[in-house]
Amino acid sequence: MKKQKVVYSSLLLLLVVLIFGRCTKTETVYETITETITDTLRLDPVLVAEGKQTFRYDAFGDEAFWSDILHIDQAILGEGNGGYGPGVSPATALSVGLKVDAEALPAEVVDAINTGQIGLEDPATTLELLKLDAVVGVKGNFDSEGMMTSVGITCALCHSTVDDSFSDGIGKRLDGWPNRDLNVGAIISLSDNVEFIAGLLHVEETTTRTVLQGWGPGKFNAGLLIDGKALRPDGSVAANLIPAAYGMQGVHLATYTGWGDMTYWNAFVANLEMHGQGNFFDARLNDAGQFPIAAENNFGNVTNSPDLITPKLPGLQAYQLSLLAPAPPAGSFDEIAAERGRALFEGVAQCSSCHIPPIFTDAGQNLHSAQEIGIDDFEASRSPTGLYRTTPLRGLFARTKGGFYHDGRFSTLDDVVEHYDNHFGLQLSPQDKSGLVEYLKSI
């Protein structure tokens, strides 16, 4: 009976967190909740720990792309350290949205930064940070003499940020949070050799650099090397917001347009976006009409020996399932208005017909046509489904930067509510709209 009560208490705590998301935001509470969900979902703690290590530090052998082809390691080093160009100082790295894990810094390094003994304008400092595994999502490899020989990227590059507790861009890791400051295009543009990418796209190198630099902070065109579409029909840049990797408990499909579940997308990204060394199969990519770049380069039939990705997928899935959506900060929303908004959300506004609590997406198949949600089908048409996934809403406050929807087309939650009010003819009052916004901020 005692064991049953403990299990019941754990489930009750989990339910409260998922539905209301209003616990005190402290490290102790967060770790307790993580342990609770790990236990409730019967996640193997050893597998979760392995997945955490993979998520943060495993480049899957993608150094063969980022160093051997793009020479990003040489760009980081700079001429002064045996590379090319000015090098990448910590200040430059922070300016393109890279983050530094303050917990990886020894006390003497922290003191030296605070007293100005370590300069943030020196590329040599970046190398020291890479030796400490302190640059979130960037994995440097060094020889016995301390010289950097290659660099790769990890899952954490896009899907982790920091809490800025030390300074802007430096703090404790927040795994699963999307890095909406990260300028992926600017980072790739550091390369002195984007000819490889240009060749895949059958365009000039200058055109490739223009495309990369057009993405901007927090956005990435994941389909570019699949279908070659750099622009939308109206001529604007085709790039989507980096999504969150937290709050995926109970969620069927992991991407904006429903390519596949979490494990599928991990394999897709590790092989085709990070350019790691693994095995990946998807016959849908052999469709030369829809996916000309992928079909031409046989991206639907990738094989490598050894396979550095597939054995890591179970751990990655376990770790991502352990990542709860964060609770909104105290005082960040009007609780009374949010209660009013909740009644509307689950009532006349009909939001919960798709965003079903407590998972806040559709139960089961969670795909809808562009016509259903009142937008164009450009991004949907780039996927095998031709549809859009109902985005899970938990932890919405942590991904407001850059706007809403897959491409950030709506700048604010007010714009989102206004769109649905018009699309469905809800005739909501200003007070109704305000309440809905406050409720969305509270989820």
- pLDDT tens for each residue of 239-259: 999 999 999 999 999 999 999
Q: Is the peptide bond between 178 and the residue preceding it cis, with omega within 30 degrees of 0?
A: no
Residue 371 gets the label, from left (phi > 0), alpha (psi -120 to 50) or beta, of alpha
pLDDT score, position 10? 41
Least Cα distance to 222 among 248, 185, 187 occurs for 185
Give the C-alpha separation, 322 to 254, whole Å: 15
Taking each continuous run of H as one helix and of E as one strand, the counts in the chain are 21, 12
| Burial label, 134 (beta-carbon count in 10 A; 0-12, 13-18, 19+) | buried
pLDDT score, position 27? 42
Q: Where are the alpha helices (DSSP H) in 229-312?
A: 262-268, 292-296
The contacts of residue 85 (CB under 8 Å, 6+ apart) are 75, 78, 79, 190, 192
pLDDT score, position 113? 85
The helix (run of H) or strand (run of E) holding residue 12 is helix 2-20
Least Cα distance to 74 among 64, 60, 88, 92 occurs for 88
Least Cα distance to 296 among 228, 386, 221 occurs for 228
DSSP state for residue 102 in the 8-state scheme = G
pLDDT score, position 28? 42
Half-sphere exposure of 18 (CA within 13 A, CB side): 25
> Which backbone phi and psi does 152 adopt, to 5 degrees?
-135, 180
β-bridge mates for residue 140, sequence order: 151
Sign of CA dihedral 333, 337, 340, 341: negative
pLDDT score, position 16? 39
pLDDT digits (tens, 9 = 90+) for 186-218: 999 999 999 999 999 999 999 999 999 999 999
DSSP state for residue 293 in the 8-state scheme = H
Give the C-alpha separation, 337 to 394, whole Å: 18
pLDDT score, position 89? 97
pLDDT score, position 306? 97
> Which backbone phi and psi does 26 adopt, to 5 degrees?
-125, 160
Instruction: Enter the pTM of the model.
Output: 0.89
The contacts of residue 64 (CB under 8 Å, 6+ apart) are 275, 277
pLDDT score, position 142? 97
Give the C-alpha separation, 192 to 368, whole Å: 42
Domain ranges within the chain, ordered by starting residue:
2-42, 63-182, 335-442
> With contact defined as beta carbons under 8 Å apart, do 71 and 195 qualify?
no
> Which backbone phi and psi does 260 adopt, to 5 degrees?
180, -175
Strands 219-220 and 240-241: antiparallel
The helix (run of H) or strand (run of E) holding residue 196 is helix 195-201
Give the C-alpha separation, 73 to 142, whole Å: 11
- 3-state SS assignment for residue 170: strand
The helix (run of H) or strand (run of E) holding residue 316 is helix 313-321
The CATH superfamily assigned to 335-442 is Cytochrome c-like domain (1.10.760.10)
β-bridge mates for residue 175, sequence order: 160
Strands 367-368 and 388-389: antiparallel
| Averages of pLDDT over each 10 residues, the chain, 443 residues | 39 41 40 50 92 98 98 97 96 97 94 85 95 98 96 98 96 98 97 95 96 97 97 95 96 94 97 98 98 98 98 98 96 96 96 95 93 97 97 96 96 98 97 98 96
